[in-house]
Structure 1
Amino acid sequence: MEKKKMAFAGSWYPASSNECEASIQGFLKEKQGTLGGHFIGGIVPHAGWYYSGSIACRVIASLDPGKGSDEKIDTIILFGAHMHKQSEPFILIHGAVETPFGDIEVDKELADKICAGISIRKRAPLKFPDENTLELQYPFIKYFYPDAKIVVCGVAPSFFASIIGNMAVEEAKNLSRNIKVIGSTDMTHYGPDFGFTPAGTGKKAVEWVKNENDRDAIQAMMEMDESNIIAQGLKNKNMCCTGAVAATVAACKKLGAVKAIELDYATSFDKSASDSFVGYAGILYSLS
């Protein structure tokens, strides 16, 4: 089976299954751990595991129905990718993605159905881009949902994002798939390294990012407002994968989500103080 090889293992996250598992077990013990509830989707960050792995891990683990549940998760739909408004959305059409825990098979039938309904570029594993937004979630997905298949999609920050999210859920329902939806984005990329310094430097800049710029984006995520999500990302540069977030929110609403919960928020400044830093948020969407 043709597969997308790992590109960031050994640098952005551990290369071996033992090291990955040790990291994951450590993440699960941080702060409040996972959240209990019936969550159908979430937003995760995608920096190196040292910086944001804990948040991503605990969001993805919280989607697990837990022991004692007879719910079987068939497919994880993962939205991500760094894209411009005019970029062409793309999808992994067949094969598998490689992780330290083993391969995750692509849900080809669902991917084909999505492609039949909308205009989206089909990509084979060997032509699929090396995207940290996507790859850094694969080990978590394989670890917590070892039997699930995957649909991986890059989404541009435009009105089309909501259409993709809705279409993915509609076709999953038509195939009787039980799915969970994950959107991958980091928040404000602030500082001279990113050419973005509207609040100067130092402590005041960190506070502005945490309490104003990122908070506005998180509020849009919490309100499940796709139009405001897209507007926030394009105007305020407070989400680097705005399309992925909008598609995830649309998909979760289509699945019946009525409430959002903020699991955690952090910045790379917390780990390594610098004039250039990035924000990370973890959001979960619930049926009740």
Structure 2
Amino acid sequence: MINANTVRTPAVAGMFYPANGHELRTMLNDFLKETKSYSEKVPKAIIVPHAGYIYSGSVAASVYARLTAARDTINRVVLLGPSHRVPLRGLACSRMAYFATPLGNIPVDKAAIDEISTLPQVSTLEQAHAQEHSLEVQLPFLQTVLGDFSVIPLVVGEASPEQVGEVLEKLWGSKETLIVISSDLSHFHDYESAQKMDKLTSQAIENLRPEDIHYEQACGRIPLSGLLQVARARGMHAQTVDLRNSGDTAGSKNQVVGYGAYVFN
């Protein structure tokens, strides 16, 4: 029997996505069906948005659909997202045994948490995880496209790209490990201004240039920059799969939030 005190329960189910498991699975499958099926190489790392599913779910699905071929290969997910509620230095891990969604419980890779906890920039801070949506909204997608897997959830606060990159390198693994960076793009600009800004951000991502991405361009700029630095050092290739904003999906065009989906190989 699972001890309830060792489970991180959903904080935004019923708000960012359906709290009912059947409704959630139906919504996810509908998003994935709308995307093209790809026979291309399964990405090693992805960047995905983290807004409510009606706003960014279809953009996220464009990348998650590319993981279905690795359903039985990927069994560990390194998941990084920005802290929206709790100010912190470095990266916050969790000592919970499971992260739960309406689709079930996902085990946390305790051995990996122990390994990175030796780094000075990594600390345990459950408060950073308790209400954080940037990681949570990725979990149902992962549960839908992958088989059995464990997760290494990290909320990123004030840190350098080098500090994030050191953690990623330590957890990089091989084909069994997927790196997921959760980040929205520009916030609350008019439609045309957001398009211009988000296009520049996408170019910086494709060119693996974290130095060209500034605070206002991506709320997950810090974990994103860490990935770009590692990708550049490893000679990887980045590709934009989808780039839209809330004015394209489910909102007005007066003040929009940008969403991009990217793959790295």
TM-score, normalized by the shorter chain, greater than 0.5: yes
TM-score (norm 1): 0.80
Partner in structure 2 of residue 267 of structure 1: 245
Counterpart CA distance in 2 for 1:257 and 1:100 is 38
Query: How far apart are residue 16 of structure 1 and its match?
Result: 2.0
**Post-superposition shift, 1:101?**
1.3
Tell me the residue number matched to 1:78.
Answer: 79
The structure-2 alpha-carbon separation of the partners of 1:65 and 1:257, relative to structure 1 and needing over 3 Å to count, comes to farther
> How far apart are the structure 1 equivalents of 2:31 and 2:162?
31
Alpha carbons of structure 1 residues 38 and 44: separation in structure 2 relative to 1, 3 Å: same
Q: Distance in 2 between matches of 1:253 and 1:181?
A: 15
**Alignment match, 2:136:** 135
Please state whether the residue corresponding to 1:103 is helix, strand or coil. Answer: strand
1:258 matched residue in structure 2: 236
Question: 2 CA distance for matches of 1:43 and 1:102?
Answer: 24
3-state SS in 2 of match to 1:9: coil
Rate the CA distance shift 1:91–1:35 in 2: closer, same or farther, 3 A. farther
**One-letter code aligned to 2:206:** M
1:109/1:177 Cα in 2 relative to 1: closer, same or farther (>3 Å)?
farther
Instruction: Give yes or no for contact 1:80–1:153 (8 Å, CA) kept in 2.
Output: yes
Decide whether the 8 Å contact of 1:157 with 1:241 is kept in 2: no
Q: Secondary structure at the match of 1:28?
A: helix
Query: Aligned AA for 1:58?
Result: S
Out of 6, 17, 22, the position equivalent to 2:21 is: 17
CA distance in 2, matches of 1:40, 1:177: 7
Range with greater deviation from structure 2 (31-40 or 238-247): 31-40
- Residues 1:87 and 1:40: Cα distance change in structure 2 (over 3 Å): same
Three-state SS of the structure 2 residue aligned to 1:117 is: coil
CA shift for structure 1 position 127:
6.7
Alignment of 1:38-49 (within 5 A): 38-49=42-53
Name the SS of the counterpart of 1:42 in structure 2. strand
Counterpart of 1:216? 200
- Please list every run of 5 or more consecutive structure 2 residues that lacks an aligned counterpart in the other structure: none
Deviation at 1:138, TM superposition (A): 0.9
- Which residue, out of 197, 206, 211, partners 1:227? 211
Residues 257 and 44 (structure 1 numbering): CA distance in 2 closer, same or farther, change over 3 Å? farther
Cα 1:136–1:257 shift into 2, 3 Å: farther
Distance 1:132 1:171 in 2: 22
Report the equivalent of 2:184. 186
Match of 2:167 in 1: 167
Q: Is the 8 A contact 2:164 2:223 kept in 1?
A: no
Relative to structure 1, the CA distance from residue 65 to residue 241 in structure 2 (aligned partners, 3 Å threshold; closer, same or farther) is same
Q: 1:141 to 1:257 in 2, by over 3 A?
A: farther
Which residue among 116, 121, 124 is the counterpart of 1:122? 124
- Residues 151-182 of structure 1: CA distance to partner in whole angstroms, max 9, x if unpaired? 111223642x3332333332454xx7821001
Shift of 1:281: 0.4
Q: 1:19 to 1:35 in 2, by over 3 A?
A: farther
Native 8 Å contact 1:260 1:284 kept in 2: yes
Normalised by the length of structure 2, the TM-score is 0.87
Partner of 1:241: 220
1:227 Cα deviation after fit: 2.8
Q: Please state how far the C-alpha of 1:12 moved relative to its aligned partner.
A: 0.9
CA distance in 2, matches of 1:31, 1:64: 12
Equivalent residues of 2:191, 2:253 under 8 A apart: no
Residue matched to 1:200? none
* Structure 1: gaps of 5 or more residues: 192-204
Post-superposition offset of 1:85: 9.5
Give yes or no for contact 2:156–2:222 (8 Å, CA) kept in 1.
yes
